[in-house]
């Protein structure tokens, strides 16, 4: 697992180099007389603020950044890199009373059970192939395992148009939908699964 905190603080060239290993699971280093390929299969997790001061969209604090400053900050991450990240989510600040709340969320134990069951489903689905998990499905497998009904199809088409999703993002939405359905223990992809997966393409809306 590779965790990059404050993603826009990395140089753009450094970030662009990640595109090959993210896509192919290996990295090729070329020098004048030779080139070598090394395994580089990892899960990328990255965090960034919504703007340089960090308060954009926060209802309790005033963001001090100008529009060009915000644009410059966000532009450090290229569209093609964003495109290669499966899930983008916004994490709003947690209000104090919720921090102190006694209400319990999903326990780690029940989440573990859910994840193991979803993993088992994927092992059965891809038995005998090198795919292994939903995230690694090739386009042909996406078509086979992520069939949509008419309303799912219409929803995805609308999102493609409105968010300007690329063909890569289109397949990513379907792979993520497949995992959401697996976590819910459902065989068929439903509109709610597609809609949740589209909701995870947060950054496509800004680029
Ligand atoms: Zn700001």
- Dihedral sign for Cα 54, 58, 63, 68, please: positive
pLDDT band at 183 (very low <50, low <70, confident <90, very high): very high
Checking if the pLDDT of 21 tops 70, the result is yes
Q: What is the pLDDT of residues 57-87, one digit of tens each?
A: 888 889 999 999 999 998 888 888 988 999 9
Bridge-based pairing of strands 26-30 and 35-39 is antiparallel
Distance 70 CA to ligand 1 centre (A): 7
Distance 48 CA to ligand 1 centre (A): 12
Paired with 28 in beta bridges are 37
Checking if the pLDDT of 174 tops 60, the result is yes
pTM: 0.85
Distance 73 CA to ligand 1 centre (A): 10
> How far is the first Cα of the chain from the last one, in angstroms, to the nearest whole number?
26
197 CB-near residues (< 8 Å, 6+ apart): 173, 174, 176, 177, 180
Q: Enter the DSSP assignment of 44.
A: E
Distance 55 CA to ligand 1 centre (A): 5
pLDDT at residue number 104: 77
Paired with 36 in beta bridges are 29
100 token code pair = 């102190």
Give the integer Cα–Cα distance in Å for 14 and 44: 14
pLDDT band at 205 (very low <50, low <70, confident <90, very high): low
Distance 129 CA to ligand 1 centre (A): 47
pLDDT at residue number 207: 45
pLDDT at residue number 112: 96
Checking if the pLDDT of 206 tops 60, the result is no
Distance 88 CA to ligand 1 centre (A): 20
Give the integer Cα–Cα distance in Å for 149 and 151: 6
Checking if the pLDDT of 117 tops 90, the result is yes
Distance 124 CA to ligand 1 centre (A): 47
Percentage of the chain exceeding pLDDT 70: 99
Question: What is the mean predicted confidence (pLDDT) over 166-195?
Answer: 95
Give the integer Cα–Cα distance in Å for 137 and 154: 22
Residue 189 vs residues 99, 138, 168, 180: alpha-carbon distances, Å: 35, 18, 19, 9
Question: What is the mean predicted confidence (pLDDT) over 148-168?
Answer: 92
Distance 98 CA to ligand 1 centre (A): 24
Distance 8 CA to ligand 1 centre (A): 14
Distance 18 CA to ligand 1 centre (A): 27
Q: What is the pLDDT of residues 82-115, one digit of tens each?
A: 889 999 998 887 777 777 777 778 899 999 999 9
- Dihedral sign for Cα 135, 139, 141, 144, please: positive
Residue 41 vs residues 2, 72, 206: alpha-carbon distances, Å: 10, 30, 28
């Amino acid at each position: 697992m590779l965790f990059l905190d404050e993603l826009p603080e990395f140089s753009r060239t450094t970030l662009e180099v990640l595109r090959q290993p993210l896509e192919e699971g290996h990295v090729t280093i070329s020098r004048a007389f030779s080139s070598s390929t090394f395994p580089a299969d990892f899960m990328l997790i990255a965090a960034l603020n919504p703007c340089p001061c960090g308060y954009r969209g926060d209802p309790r604090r005033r963001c001090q950044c100008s529009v060009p400053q915000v644009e410059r900050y966000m532009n450090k991450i290229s569209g093609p890199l964003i495109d290669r990240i499966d899930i983008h989510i916004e994490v709003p600040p947690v209000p104090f009373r919720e921090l102190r709340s006694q209400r319990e969320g999903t326990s780690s134990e029940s989440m573990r059970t859910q994840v193991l069951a979803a993993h088992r489903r994927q092992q059965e689905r891809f038995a005998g192939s090198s795919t292994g998990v939903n995230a690694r499905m090739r386009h042909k497998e996406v078509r086979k395992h992520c069939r949509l009904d008419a309303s799912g199809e219409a929803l995805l088409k609308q999102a493609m148009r409105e968010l300007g999703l690329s063909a890569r993002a289109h397949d990513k939405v379907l792979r993520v939908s497949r995992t959401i359905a697996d976590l819910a223990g459902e065989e068929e992809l439903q509109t709610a699964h597609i809609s949740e997966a589209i909701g995870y393409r947060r950054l496509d809306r800004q680029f």
